[in-house]
Structure 1
């Protein structure tokens, strides 16, 4: 007896074939990985192929794998993960693509395929520094326009580089280097011998 996920897996293989570099069926979800060189064409096939018909892009996010598995990760550092929904077939798929360059991560924009990709891609650019080739308005969306760096990268300092405050003498907001001293906070643990036994 074939399940719905088995049917989806067969439909993905029929539609994409060798464009799929890996397919994982775990916890009731299917995740496929495609190469960045065929990312745009694969996503277009997922939208248009009658066996797939993924009409909606419901989420897109950047991922920094630099410390994944306590530094044991051997693959590319940055990935873009998209979640697609087919209303026609009532199924979902997760698509992961890794940027081939860790220094300047670039993947194709999905904005021309699904207009909902616009703000998602801007967020991934803002937080991870992932560039989306073909995006017509790639600018920061959640951090300040003068913000330096990308705060969700694993090598970005927790305190940041600059802080802003209102200066009453200048009557404006000013930026200055962070004045917080970096420190390691170790929680103090108190153990009571009879705790929880009464």
Structure 2
């Protein structure tokens, strides 16, 4: 039998009581609770969220990186990189979003939570691969989506839109080869098709 979900405001109070001074910010918007903690408190706060009465978030259902350097076309003050996790309590039928900002923009690091939830393993590898966020304590932190020889982190806002090298498998050499890009770079502007251009849709 599924537990009846409590109101978001009550969940917010339960989380705030469980975490105490580790809460940097906690808000409710659109019936969703979002919690912000400092990088120094991240691992311990996640452990409390998993184990404490009133929380019991047994599952980590998503984890990703965010680059806020050009967020919403606004000048941003504060840390550039953030890790966002979504936790689910099956037993209590409730969810929470947890955000932790990396203290250092040049070398973003947060603790790994893969020892708390196995599902964090590949999520953290993806955030490392795409954003360059290092998860301290992860037992196998290596790229998961890009090629082994790939340089850079393609989801960073300052990553170039076009590359200089392309790769392909050479059947004669029986290996992957890297070559200069053979296609002329160009900017593609999407064509906007409006209904009134065709006199409306029928």
For the criterion TM > 0.5, the same-fold answer is yes
Counterpart mapping for 1:81-92 below 5 A: 81-92=84-95
Cα distance in 2 for residues equivalent to 1:188 and 1:56? 43
Q: Which residue of 1 aligns with 2:48?
A: 45
In the TM superposition, 1:151-170 aligns within 5 A as 151-167=154-170, 170=173
CA displacement at 1:93 relative to structure 2: 0.1
Displacement of 1:61: 0.6
State whether structure 2 residue 184 is matched by structure 1 residue 184. no
Unpaired segments of 5 or more residues in structure 1? none
Between 178-187 and 117-126, the greater mean CA deviation after superposition:
178-187
**Deviation string, structure 1 residues 52-82 (Cα, Å, up to 9, x no partner):** 1111111111111111021422221111000
Distance in 2 (CA, whole Å) between partners of 1:16 and 1:197 is 56
Unpaired segments ≥5 residues, structure 2: 1-5
Once the 2 structures are TM-superposed, how far is the Cα of residue 161 of structure 1 from its aligned partner?
3.9
Alpha-carbon separation, structure 1, partners of 2:41 and 2:193: 56
1:145 aligns with 2:148: yes
Which residue, out of 57, 62, 70, partners 2:65? 62
**For structure 1, which segment, 167-176 or 132-141, has the greater mean C-alpha deviation from structure 2 after superposition?**
167-176
Does the CA-based 8 Å contact 2:87-2:97 persist in structure 1?
Answer: yes
Once superposed, what is the RMSD of the aligned Cα atoms?
2.1
Q: How does 1:116-127 map to 2 (within 5 A)?
A: 116-127=119-130
SS in 1 for 2:117: coil
Aligned mates of 1:190, 1:28 — CA distance in 2: 36
How far apart, CA to CA, are the structure 1 residues paired with 2:119 and 2:74? Answer: 33
Secondary structure of 1:24's aligned partner: strand
Distance 2:102 2:63 in 1: 14
Aligned mates of 1:120, 1:190 — CA distance in 2: 37
**Shift of residue 103 of structure 1?**
0.8
Q: Does 1:93 align with 2:96?
A: yes
CA distance in 1, matches of 2:76, 2:123: 25
Question: Corresponding residue for 1:4?
Answer: 7
Compute the TM-score of the two structures, normalised by the length of structure 1. 0.90
SS in 1 for 2:9: helix
Size of the alignment, in residue pairs?
196
Does structure 1 retain, via aligned residues, the 8 Å contact 2:27–2:33? yes
Among 13, 16, 32, the alignment partner of 1:13 is 16
